[in-house]
Chains A and B, each alone.
Chain A
Amino acid sequence: MKSAKVLVIESDPWLGERFEYALKKAGFGVRSTSNAYSAMDMVDEFRPDAIVMGLLLSGAGGLSLLHELQSYTDTAGVPVIVCSATNVMLDELRPYGVERVLDSGAMKPDDLVAAVRSVLA
């Protein structure tokens, strides 16, 4: 069976690497970027089944990227998981297509994998 594809967008490359490692280990196909501008190109090229992202991104910023994703019919349905250490509530981000919010300071790698599995289920 073909593994689901996850795009990781995180401004800190070492943190992004941790997310990527956890997801690859769980069997997902993973690509990652640290910049909101390149993220949109990567979405077009990689066609992810889910997106894991931070909110404080280099370039256009996380909210702009979420808005951009929502504005196209082919990307609006891609489930998004936000990993952030800032105080942000899921309800605030639901209009932007976000299905899960994880606290990047408290979560464990398994939490991230479980969240991706649940949005893909």
Chain B
Amino acid sequence: MSDKDEIYLENQPLEKNLLRYVWNHTRREQLWILSVILISMPTLFLVLDLPKNIINKPVQGIGFEDVTATATFLNLSIDYPDWVFGGGTLTLFEGFSMERLPYLLALSFSFLALVCVNGLFKFYINTYKGRLGERMLRRLRYDLVDRVLRFPTNQFRRVKASEIASMVKDEVEPFGEFIGDAFVMPVFLGGQALIAFVFILLQNVWLGLLAVGVIIFQMILIPILRRRVLELGRMRQLTARQLSGRIGEVVDGITAVHVNDTSNLERAEISSRLGRIFDIRYELYQRKFFVKFINNFLAQLTPFLFYVIGGYFAIRGTLDIGQLVAVIAAYKELPSPINGLIVWDQKRVDINIKYAQIVEQFNTDEALDARLQKPVPGPVEPLDGNVVVSNLVINDESGSSLLEDVDTKFGVHDVVAIVGPVNSGTEAMANALARLQNPSSGRILAKGSNLFDMPEAITGRRMSYVSGDSFLPQDTMENTLLYPLKHVPLAERPLDEAEKSAKTRWLAEARASGNIELDINDDWVDYKAAGAAGAEDIHIQIRRVLEIVELDQVVFDLSLRQTLDPAENEQLCAKILEARERFRGRLEQEELAKYVELFDGKLYNSQATIAENLLFGTSSDGMFTPDKLASNPHIRKVLRDGGLDEALYEMGVELASTAVELFADLSSDNPFFEQLNFMAPDEIDDYQPILARVAGVDFDQVKEADKEMLLRLPFNYVEPRNRLGLLNDEYRERILKARHQFQQDLSDELEGSISFYQKDTYNRMATIQDNILLGRVAYGYSDAAERVQQEIQQIVEELNLQDDMFKVGLKFNIGTAGKRLTEVQRQKISFARVLLKRSDLLIVNRALNAMDSRTQKRIVQRVIKLSRGDENNPPFGIFWVLMAPAYAQLFDRVLVFDGGRLVEDGDPVELAKTESAYAAMLV
């Protein structure tokens, strides 16, 4: 197929009939598998036929009545009937003459061989059908998502995201299985049924016609009965889809549920939906099984008729009894293929309805032309000249107008501000310019051609758009920032031989399913567009744009909270150890000392937990995490030997009673629970009975389970924080002794389970900040954390580690929908990344509205300065819908909108001096 045809097909609506859709794409494969099945038929027949022969001939001895009798094996001769050349036998191979025992063995081994061949046929056929189905499923899912990517944006106001996901993922799932059998099954079963029919007809025309009559009756009756079943199937699909849409809404709006006490409303609403689904499904079952009942009944009715009518004629002597027996025997072969056909047809209709239902949602008249999204590998021509907006009218779905008859013209490289109240048309203007909203009439020309006819390769690379509610999927900060630079794969990742062949196979498979043949694992980042040479120096550009939105410091702060694997970052880890050295040097000199308590193998660290003091390290494989220490046999032994177990147990009792006393009557979401660092809110209820059981009981008599529960508590105890006065010098001394003993006793195999705090080792389980400190920030000083961080930053700068730390910080995972960042940070990162693209025209649609006005102003100033261009960065134009009209003064030109109309256009400074609408907004 040429490219042109492909595009043509992609622009066509999806085929509404599933069978036709399948046939269009798998014609060749369907015919092939059909022929394989036909070829496999003789083997199947022989496998069924041979056992009878083995039993009859060599075993029971038919034909071997005489001891010296032989039989011929592998006699390939065909008897042909009288009407062909007067009858006779065509002998291809005379065969071997064999005695009884060898004949048995020969037949048995032939049976074994045939079973193998037959099994292999089945294996091939089933895998082939499976692959066929899976490929079609892949193609269908891909086609559906392809449509989603070309939906006009207003389509998304009609369909819910979770409904689309449920359609693409769940609803098409059963298709795969059906597709493999879509054509093979009816041909196959139909053939079987036909043969049985012909046989019956040959035996007795009347009885044959009787059987045909019943089946025709069945074929007329069943679809009538099934009409309601199909209707129900459609309803089932719709209600289930709406349920998943509704659940998505509940999850997205969960805060509204909590703050309004509407959880029970949601429960009732979900319950009513589930009830409706239940009703539909129950009725469906009833009807389905009724149809089945009718089917079975009719199938049994035919033999009844044979017995009655055939028997009658036999008694009357008009029918040969032999014929009657043969007809009944042949009819026995009929029900299974007929039933199979009925089941297949049922499935076909059911799946076809589901398919049509789905496709209907994805076929829209206004889908973007597929040509506009074709991958364009090379750089695209820059935009220049003018953007001309003429008679632009935009109405929303309800028909109310957002923009009325706007005429304007500006240079691509102009720096323009757009102001106006909310809903005055400013957002619609920006959205139209970004092609997110189709004009109802009028047009926008850029570089002389209609903006809406331009490929996305031009608009998406030479123009940028950012609004206040950009969505950020879960990824690292770095990938989030580079996202707008990923248009096509530009550099293949280096592959070894095995990977190369895997890739070839992978791409061939993609082609077979009509998927796009671009490798997601290649490097897609267009470094040149960002002004970098490649992956090595892209972070310089990233830092540049992050500085503009004041996010660079955040990246540094985040980097301190990241962990590093020294195996992969040898140099950086060595440098961090150097930073640790310097940090310790500063502690000796300055008043900084009181803010940090360093880990020292010989000293108890009062700012750390008892667990940390005991282990003097962090668990690296989960074996020695604080909650498991109480049940760990090594720890228990050390505690016992050091006379600590009873002491810690007493502390545990004290902590448990304090927690129970203070927290027992609070609900588990009470804010006070944040301060309870040694127990989970829901554990309070567990400790009450434990305390009652152990009261007055000697330590030795306490049950192990209770002991363990109580021993767990003191491990998280920190004296300056909890201030219960449970630790004294003697206990500290004993814990230190236990620490040493634990380290001495530790077997080699457990050595790797703990990363110890050692002065010259990098701890891969701890954050970078903890590695630099190798200590704990002290409780009780309000500015301790801040001061420590300042100090660290200075050291990082002295050691020239900013770049490395910056890169580490960029690896921070921003969380689902960027929720690990604040809203302001999300807006900043969305803004920064479109700057990274260095496009010709930057469209900003109230993108900074979560920030305070001073920050907004600073960012506007920096971006305007950037837009003038410098030796490294080309100049670009700005089309900025502002929140605060005052900042328009920083721009060269302002467009003022009101009530969907462009009411003013001019130099903002001049306009501000006159009695203009703009000046009125400034007051």
Please determine whether chains A and B interact with each other in the same assembly. no
User: What residues make up the interface of A, taking CB atoms closer than 8 Å to B?
Assistant: none
